[in-house]
Structure 1
Amino acid sequence: MDDNATNRKLLERLLLQWELIPILAQSGDEALRMIKESWAKEKFSAMILDQEMPGLGGIELMEMLHKGSVLPPPPVILMLSRPLESKARLECERLGIARTILKPIRRAWLVEALQQMAGEPKSEPAPAKIKGSALDGVSLRVLVADDNLVNQRLISRLLEKMGHQVVVASDGMAVLRILQEGEVDLIAMDMQMPILDGVETTRKIRAMEIGAGGHVPIMAMTANAFEEDRRKCFEAAMDGFVVKPVSAQSIREEMERVLALQVVTEGKDAVVRQNP
């Protein structure tokens, strides 16, 4: 379950690579309904629940399941943005939460947790089951912010060849307008733009998110590879950094790092069922 469409796509893709059947929900209430319906049919083999989400978090959802059913809930992996305090850890033990994983989640951690719950020895899935990356077959809506028309076209073309949808903006104010009109999955942000530069635009976006919630991943695009430039980007709460001139490989690798189960910053819950 995830209220962020990007996170749902990425986690779904990863689980399908391991020949699991992911059943996705956008809210705690929807997940609760799906779980209760499954009791009358085929019980889920495992659940991946996020604690940091609007409405029902993972612990609250487990509490409701324990109160409302004579059947024990499936094994649970709880995703966390920060380590649990001692009281919350005791609550997890009481509710039978098998594993906790800190975000951003890495492939190996998720593999290990799922295998441990299944009683299998620790090992990576067979190579045949992991084909490509978590971005393969996933189409994202990417906002390219750059005042240079040549760069706009180049980056847009590279992203479109990867199968993504592209929206373009030539300055920071245009970026803010586009975000008010609809969601994007990722922003490729030029550092030096007129009106509002990339750093100031990012600060305004993060300030908006404090009130509205959510976290759109932002990758800086800059010709400057100095440490000072990287520091400015990350101080503004950007998530990634690509040095110009960009290439398909550099963009893809940084997208994978930033999004790679950025089930990440906002990754929510995935309910998983084993493929027979």
Structure 2
Amino acid sequence: MYEKIQETASWLKERMTTKPETAIILGTGLGQLATEITDSYEFSYSDIPNFPVSTVEGHSGKLIFGKLGGKDIMAMQGRFHYYEGYSMKDVTFPIRVMYELGIKTLFVSNASGGMNPEFKIGDLMIITDHINFFPEHPLRGKNFPTGPRFPDMHETYDHALIKEADQIAEENGIRVMHGVYVGVQGPTFETPAEYKMYHRLGGDAVGMSTVPEVIVAHHCGIRTFGISIITDLGLEDNPVEVSHEEVQVAANNAQPLMTEIMREMIRRA
């Protein structure tokens, strides 16, 4: 696997005309942030050696390079999910490649179901911590040389980046919430009993991504900032039915606010 990662990174380096130190992963329905990237050039996942290919609606499947907030960045327009049948090594393969390309900071976004009664649909939740409910750990197996066998997880989501995001949100009058993200396998949305359990265990939002990528980024020493768009609610007293299409619509509506925060954070870096 390590040889494949290096092969993929070498293929990209030969074709890159920029040197980004920041990467963004765009979750379900959040791909339009890519239109904000200027001076861009891109590669389809299907053209990149060893790269998985996204199969989910709302995930375009492109690796985009260019500028955002005046800085060189790279963005994944579409991610890979464990529920698609990929192994955790496949799901986190792009993060390993990012490390080889010199990425120092990773922004992750997702659409998630809110369990905190203070949340509203369309809210932005800055992720302060996570609970890992995936059945396979992304660091299972032989340890990669990018980090220790037993990485500490006390500050998985960078406190300084969270503080900066809060400041930018306040300056621009954007409502942001803080919370713990629960990462689950999917692909089913949660039952009312599951929503209740995850909330009582300490979760504020639940989704089917992000946690594996963040763990591997942390193992590589990459600073991480995560943000969830609350696209549906699974409150204990008022569970509601949800569809993938509704999630995409809610995510699209909240995109401009998330983009504004991320763009300014990158500009100030």
Does TM-score exceed 0.5, indicating one fold?
A: no
Q: Which has a greater percent of strand?
A: 2
* TM-score with structure 2 setting the length: 0.27
Which structure has the greater CA radius of gyration? Answer: 1
Q: Which has a greater percent of helix?
A: 1
